């Protein structure tokens, strides 16, 4: 029987590769989610009722279904029904980003609405259009307040990527499972996987604290 250390050392290169895939998916998905989230968030603060309703329906549907089910629908369900092929990475990033975008939309909406209404009025009275006022006056103030909530969502999304193991993506959790299915050393491997997640998420947390401090001045 191999020693625990030997088991962990042997697993490191495979787990590191898995962590890279996890990071890659998280980063790409969050960038896409930010764009969609901002878009939907703005729709939800719009004055037109139809825009607001579309935004609300989007958020309700995505928040109202489990991510695991969304992953299955995107990867197995839709391609099967419509007879086309989808790459597992595309499906994985789509699922994580759609899911995160609904939560981010709410963060954007809350952030925008937290900026005092007088700011918009003052900007408009200075001759800015509504779009300019939003972009130049309201959003910069809102984004600063949203940072903690945004980092929180980034952490949640990163952990959510572990669900992608069900569609065969070899991210960190799946890599751990594959190693365990060969050596049955579940204790050592799961602890190592947890440490990998923790270290990366902790770095993210530290970065967010630094960012908050800098933007506070």
Residues that bind other proteins (CB under 8 A): 76, 79-80, 85-88, 165-168, 170, 174, 177-178, 180-182, 184, 186
**Minimum distance from CB of 178 to other proteins (Å)?**
6
**Minimum distance from CB of 119 to other proteins (Å)?**
36
Nearer to other proteins, 87 or 118 (CB): 87
- Number of Cβ atoms within 10 Å of the Cβ of 50: 9
Nearer to other proteins, 109 or 185 (CB): 185
Nearer to other proteins, 77 or 140 (CB): 77
Question: What does the H/E/C string look like for 77-91?
Answer: HHHHHHCCCCCHHHH
Nearer to other proteins, 3 or 85 (CB): 85
Q: Using only C-alpha atoms, what is the Rg of the chain?
A: 21
**55 neighbors 212 (Cβ within 8 angstroms):** no
What is the Cα–Cα distance from 175 to 150, expressed in whole angstroms?
A: 28
**128 neighbors 135 (Cβ within 8 angstroms):** no
What is the Cα–Cα distance from 120 to 125, expressed in whole angstroms?
A: 9
């Amino acid at each position: 029987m191999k020693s625990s250390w030997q088991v962990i050392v042997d697993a490191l290169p495979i787990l590191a590769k898995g962590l890279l895939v996890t990071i890659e998916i998280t980063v790409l998905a969050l960038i896409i989610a930010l764009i969609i989230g901002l878009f939907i968030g703005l729709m939800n603060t719009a004055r037109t009722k139809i825009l607001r309703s579309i935004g609300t329906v989007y958020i309700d549907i995505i928040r109202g279904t489990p991510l695991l089910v969304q992953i299955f629908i995107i990867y197995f369900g839709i391609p099967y029904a419509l007879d086309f092929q989808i790459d597992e990475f595309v499906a994985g990033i789509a699922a994580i980003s759609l899911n995160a975008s609904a939560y981010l939309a709410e963060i954007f909406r809350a952030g925008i609405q937290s900026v005092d209404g007088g700011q918009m009025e003052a900007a408009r009275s200075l001759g800015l259009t509504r779009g300019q006022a939003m972009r130049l006056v309201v959003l910069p103030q809102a984004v600063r307040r949203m940072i903690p909530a945004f980092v929180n969502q980034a952490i949640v999304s990163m952990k959510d990527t572990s669900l992608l193991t069900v569609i065969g993506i070899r991210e960190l959790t799946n890599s751990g499972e594959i190693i365990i299915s060969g050596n049955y050393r579940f204790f050592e491997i799961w602890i190592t996987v947890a440490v990998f997640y923790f270290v990366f998420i902790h770095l993210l947390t530290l970065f967010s604290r630094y960012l908050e401090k800098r933007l506070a001045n």
